[in-house]
Structure 1
Amino acid sequence: MIGASTALPVTIARAATWDPSLEERVGLAIGLETRARGANYSASVCVNLLRHPAWGRAQECYGEDPVLTARMGAAITRGVRVNAMACVKHFALNSMENERFEVDVSVDEHALHEVYLPHFRAVVEAGADSVMSSYNRVRGEYMDVNRALLTDVLRQEWGFSGFVTSDWVFGTHDAFLSLQAGMDVEMPLRLLRARELPAALRNGDLARATVLQSARRILRTCVQHAAAREMEAPTRAVIASPAHRALAHRVAAESIVLLKNETVGAAPLLPLAPTTGHLAVIGRLAARANLGDHGSSRVRPPSTVSPLQGLREALPGVRITTSSGRNERAAAALAAAAETAIVVVGLDQHDEGESVVTGGVDVGVLGRAFASGPLRRVLIGLAHLASRFVRGGDRSSLELRPGDERLIQAVVAANPGPSSC
């Protein structure tokens, strides 16, 4: 989404609601805001399986269960496509960031059709208008040229009639073979195909019927979508509207998983009592609105509320003091002086996510800078090389940062009673 939009809870949090009907409402909100921006296409349906919690884009998926993923993915698809064409991604077997441009996934037929594909099929059957192919290879072939999956399975076995796109910038490896395999659109810019297909058509290396087949898929899907949706488009007032912010708040509340709520004195620690005398809020994320990955799932809400600000608004009669926690001794002293201490730490875009791979630079910007000529091939080569030898967006450890752990230990030691992390 270009510009401001509602910051809905991430997909993995929404999965914790176990509520497909609520997820369909999320999809409806996404579609409305997409259309209000003048767009007609939303690549917001991510149903890749979380095979390991260290995956850098775990927040974008519904978890490790293909059944739950299928139910939730189908629900958001139904909601989105009321106002925008819904695109499901990343097809298929894309569950890692490190080496995502180069990895070759080997999988047997049973695992492929019983674990990795059923949720994609469910989303297709729910009406997905578009499918985005993934960067990786499957059984030796890059997905954009993998006819076995893009045509034999997706179209012939499942009956998908929409159009297939590449992943962004680095997702098209061969202008001819990808078209013949069933990949219709090179995203997001005019790159390989714009340069190579016109001459191939003129000299007869490429059949005109192959191009027309993809063109028909694209046009048919767009026309059918336009004919089915309501004629009157939503105004921009719907973007980050009170109704959508209330929906985001409800989803967040439904998604919370309380792991422990110990009894302190005669009552559990949570909810915090409005009669608390002194509350210390400590940690590097206490006064920040941590919105997660700065990659393709990044949102830019018109306003945010940090944990510190939220606590002050919820507990107006409580004295609240704060510390970033950089000085552990000072943080411990603050905790010792308080009746209750809260530590706010965790992961941000520097620890995991798509933005780690590109250094925070949008891949679309990279693509525009090198959209033509030999520099593009050099850029692709460097990206593939970097994905093999440079840390990607996957986590190397499931633990918190060492400094975060030390801060928690210092605060708990200073205030062993009512402390929360």
Structure 2
Amino acid sequence: MIALRILKYLFFLTISLIIITLSIVYLNLDYKMYPLKANQELYSQEIWKVDTDSLAEELVKKMSLEEKIDQMYGEKMYKSIPKFFGNFVLKQRFPHIYVGSNERLNIPPWVLSDGPRGARVLDKDVKAVTTFPVAMARAASWNTTIEFRVHDVISKEMRANKTNYAATPCINLLRHPGWGRAQETYGEDPWLLGEFGVAAVKGIEKNNVMACPKHFALNSIENSRWVIDVSVDERALREVYLPHFKKVIQEGKPASIMSAYNKVRGKYSGSNEELLTNILKNEWEFEGFISTDWMYGIYDGIEAIKAGLNVEMPWQDEYNYNTIKEGLIDGKISENDINELVLSTLKTRLKYAFSYDSLDYTHDLILNESHINLAREVSEESMVLIKNENILPFQLGENLKIGVIGRLADTENTGDLGSSNSKSPYVVTPFEGIKNYHINNSNKVYLDKAKEINKSVELAKELDQVILVVGYDYSDEGEYIMSRGQMLKSAEAKKLIGAKGIGGDRLSLKLQEGDEMLIKEISKVNDNVVVVYVGGSAIDMSSWEEDVPSIVFSWYSGIEGGNALAKIIYGDINPSGKLPFTIAKNSNDYPYFNPYTDTITYGYYHGYTLFEKYKKEIAYPFGHGLSYSKFKYENFNLVNNNPKDSILYFSVDLTNISKVGGKEVAQLYVGFENSEIDRPLKLLRDFKKVYLDAGEKKSINFKINKSDLSYYNTEKNKWINEKIEYNFYVGGSSSENHLIKISNFLEL
């Protein structure tokens, strides 16, 4: 009888706990929302005229210790967890997490929204936002002006959704194409990353949204991100993995920056004093505030405070009252340490809370016609024509039979479903785009999802034009979620332990077996084929590339991708995208990469610098991309060579020698072949995207700051310029076959 009573008690207790938990979650689905701007009624002058630096100093003096600590984390865990998971699971949306509110002192909060391809956090009655092609696609446009415009739109829609802190751009370097979150960044080259990162930050900040580039630093493996320890020597750190962050901080001037999950030289990034204080704050003079990535960002609150970490996200964990008070009592930290962190955060974010808005950020801004048109324009500029043996553009005849074939042919596929995802109002698939293009003519467009390959082959025999759509979706690559325990076990075992989650890193760079078989079989029966690859990074095409006459990288191309693809294939738009990475001939030639590892060394060479230095054969070079036009480079000159000048100026004549108007990406590289130390053979140092009419000739100007010729001297701990003969190259890709060269001895 006693045992039965205990069981009944446990049963009713369990039911009660479930009911209470569900009630808490339900109540938090319709959470209270708060204004993010300062209350004008509390100030005698316009709020944008308030001296926010002085105000921040006054506020910190008035705060109790607990109030200061409350500025150092997202929300209290008991409030945040049910709201976050309830909304995410039951409503498939990210909720507003309010950070740093203080009603007594009238300090408004701030709210984070991810946004690599569209605003992530939506207002309660907003269903969708403009979804752009992923960052890797936009990098392939080599058009920083369009990247600025994209983030201008994204930040407008963030403000309309009542958020004011953008956890973007991601500027981690693509060390290996298998990285699951490659789609979120801008490629393998630090210079390209830096230029795009600056454009993104400036576009975000234009609308009084705090930009937060991420993840600082050396975050280039997904499946072990919470546990991996990255070793790197000082020159590789300074010359390869940090230059783009430095440029974005110093030229873009973002309000904030996000620390990475991984360790660097044995210290977690969120508690890494060398990264956060010595380099970021002291050397680079960063004056904003540092937030952690969400969950598992820090493991020791005292270490993080000493390292200079301002805000723990998304809720209070390690920055709890007891830990900090004990640290103060034990003398491990001082209240002045707390004051400095809180003050730098307030000085930064109050500028945005008190800023003047030239726009009224209403819901009318979201998905307006200009935003949708920009999404299509970005798709058109980013697609890369990899190979073309006089197949494209397809002829627009009459009564043609056109097939769009593949399991992804009619799939809404905008990228991964993690933090970089955004709610789309619609997605024009490849099939829909081709069908829309032919809607007013006599041609017939067939859809075949390749469920039975024999039937697909039989259909292909009857077709005049074949568009084969292959690649990946969110299940193959993207942000990866598993328990930290399982991640640690897998990392220590150097292989997956337990069931694999959705997305993550790619173990193989090949397409799925069914895709490769489809390409091989259809290419045997139809010569008029274009393979359209959907994905976020490089792939291994070695087993089928020679079987097909044309290949287009369309990426995860946003809401208007299908319409853009049709215009590219049929010649309404001349392709102008260029690869932001190198594609190896042999996938084993990339740097070592294992998604499941607890330690790794990042070397000095990767990407085109590695392939060139060690004479590894490549399939397609960094910067490669074909056009329906042909361009000629000539008369390449160094305009000035005065030792007193801090900037070198170059010019080259570029001519469109075809009968088709088009855009070319002219790329300027500096060569270090004559260096007395170990350096890359050459590095990208400028680029320009220009349009030329058929037969038109233009003079293109470039510049290189002499400081961008330097290397990091580890003995002197400073940047040094060599007095040597430098080689300079200009052309349409990084390949020697596409470049013209000049040489000059420089007195630096």
Q: What SS does the aligned partner of 2:213 have? A: strand
Q: Which residue of 2 aligns with 1:168?
A: 294
Give runs of aligned pairs for residues 78-157 of structure 1, distance below 5 A. 78-83=202-207, 84-125=209-250, 126-157=252-283
Q: Which residue of 2 aligns with 1:262?
A: 389
Q: Is the 1:82–1:229 contact (alpha carbons within 8 Å) kept by the matching residues of 2?
A: no
Q: Which residue of 2 aligns with 1:299?
A: 422
Determine the C-alpha separation between the residues in 2 that align with 1:47 and 1:411: 39
Is 1:336 matched with 2:446?
no
Q: Is the 1:287–1:309 contact (alpha carbons within 8 Å) kept by the matching residues of 2?
A: yes
Partner amino acid for 2:393? L
Partner amino acid for 2:370? A
Residues 242-251 or 199-208, more deviating? 199-208
Match of 2:173 among 11, 32, 49: 49
Deviation of the 1:256 alpha carbon: 1.4
- Go from structure 1 to structure 2 and tell me whether the alpha carbon gap of 1:167 and 1:407 turns closer, same or farther (over 3 Å shift): same
Q: Is the 2:227–2:487 contact (alpha carbons within 8 Å) kept by the matching residues of 1?
A: no
Deviation of the 1:308 alpha carbon: 0.8
Match of 1:414 among 525, 529, 534: 525
Match of 1:234 among 361, 374, 385: 361
Determine the C-alpha separation between the residues in 2 that align with 1:308 and 1:274: 18
TM-score, normalization by structure 1:
0.89
Q: Which residue of 1 aligns with 2:473?
A: 348
Q: Which residue of 2 aligns with 1:403?
A: 514
Q: Is the 2:478–2:505 contact (alpha carbons within 8 Å) kept by the matching residues of 1?
A: yes
Q: What SS does the aligned partner of 2:404 have? A: strand
Determine the C-alpha separation between the residues in 1 that align with 2:295 and 2:226: 11
Give 1 or 2: higher helix fraction: 1
Partner amino acid for 1:96? I
Determine the C-alpha separation between the residues in 2 that align with 1:382 and 1:408: 37
Deviation of the 1:185 alpha carbon: 0.7
- Go from structure 1 to structure 2 and tell me whether the alpha carbon gap of 1:280 and 1:148 turns closer, same or farther (over 3 Å shift): same
Cα deviation 1:284-335 (Å, max 9, x = unaligned): 1111121111111112111111111111111112211111102001111111
Partner amino acid for 1:351? D
Cα deviation 1:390-410 (Å, max 9, x = unaligned): 367111111100111111122
- Go from structure 1 to structure 2 and tell me whether the alpha carbon gap of 1:261 and 1:39 turns closer, same or farther (over 3 Å shift): same
Partner amino acid for 1:105? V
Q: Which residue of 2 aligns with 1:384?
A: 488
Deviation of the 1:386 alpha carbon: 4.7
- Go from structure 1 to structure 2 and tell me whether the alpha carbon gap of 1:309 and 1:124 turns closer, same or farther (over 3 Å shift): same
Partner amino acid for 1:225? Y
Q: Is the 2:293–2:313 contact (alpha carbons within 8 Å) kept by the matching residues of 1?
A: yes
Residues 146-155 or 329-338, more deviating? 329-338
Determine the C-alpha separation between the residues in 2 that align with 1:282 and 1:291: 19
Q: Which residue of 1 aligns with 2:450?
A: 325
Q: What SS does the aligned partner of 2:314 have? A: coil
Aligned length: 395
Residues 192-201 or 230-239, more deviating? 192-201
Give runs of aligned pairs for residues 61-76 of structure 1, distance below 5 A. 61-76=185-200
- Go from structure 1 to structure 2 and tell me whether the alpha carbon gap of 1:260 and 1:233 turns closer, same or farther (over 3 Å shift): same
Give 1 or 2: higher strand fraction: 2
- Structure 1: 5+ residue stretches without partners: 360-378
Partner amino acid for 2:434? L
Residues 231-240 or 96-105, more deviating? 231-240
Deviation of the 1:236 alpha carbon: 1.2
Determine the C-alpha separation between the residues in 1 that align with 2:490 and 2:322: 26
Deviation of the 1:190 alpha carbon: 2.0
Determine the C-alpha separation between the residues in 2 that align with 1:232 and 1:240: 16
Q: Which residue of 1 aligns with 2:112?
A: none
Deviation of the 1:276 alpha carbon: 5.2
Q: Which residue of 1 aligns with 2:163?
A: 39
Is 1:59 matched with 2:183?
yes
Determine the C-alpha separation between the residues in 1 that align with 2:356 and 2:167: 18
Deviation of the 1:157 alpha carbon: 0.4
Determine the C-alpha separation between the residues in 2 that align with 1:288 and 1:344: 10
Q: Is the 2:465–2:529 contact (alpha carbons within 8 Å) kept by the matching residues of 1?
A: yes
Determine the C-alpha separation between the residues in 2 that align with 1:124 and 1:233: 29
Q: Which residue of 1 aligns with 2:121?
A: 2
Q: Is the 1:289–1:305 contact (alpha carbons within 8 Å) kept by the matching residues of 2?
A: yes
Q: Is the 2:134–2:414 contact (alpha carbons within 8 Å) kept by the matching residues of 1?
A: no
Partner amino acid for 1:80? I
Q: Is the 2:121–2:158 contact (alpha carbons within 8 Å) kept by the matching residues of 1?
A: no
- Go from structure 1 to structure 2 and tell me whether the alpha carbon gap of 1:177 and 1:328 turns closer, same or farther (over 3 Å shift): same
Residues 252-261 or 39-48, more deviating? 252-261
In percent, how many aligned pairs have the same letter? 40
- Go from structure 1 to structure 2 and tell me whether the alpha carbon gap of 1:29 and 1:229 turns closer, same or farther (over 3 Å shift): farther
Q: Which residue of 1 aligns with 2:46?
A: none
Deviation of the 1:51 alpha carbon: 0.8
Deviation of the 1:384 alpha carbon: 3.4
Determine the C-alpha separation between the residues in 2 that align with 1:52 and 1:225: 37
Cα deviation 1:242-299 (Å, max 9, x = unaligned): 1111111111111111112223xxxx33245152511111111111121111111112
Deviation of the 1:350 alpha carbon: 1.2
Partner amino acid for 1:51? R
Determine the C-alpha separation between the residues in 2 that align with 1:196 and 1:8: 44
Match of 1:180 among 291, 294, 306: 306
Determine the C-alpha separation between the residues in 1 that align with 2:180 and 2:444: 38
Larger Rg: 2
Determine the C-alpha separation between the residues in 1 that align with 2:297 and 2:395: 49
Deviation of the 1:342 alpha carbon: 1.5
Cα deviation 1:109-135 (Å, max 9, x = unaligned): 111111111110111111111110001
Match of 1:26 among 126, 136, 150: 150
Q: Which residue of 1 aligns with 2:603?
A: none
Q: Is the 1:35–1:233 contact (alpha carbons within 8 Å) kept by the matching residues of 2?
A: no
Is 1:212 matched with 2:331?
no
Determine the C-alpha separation between the residues in 1 that align with 2:143 and 2:392: 28
Match of 1:244 among 365, 371, 376: 371
Deviation of the 1:414 alpha carbon: 2.7
RMSD over aligned Cα atoms: 1.9
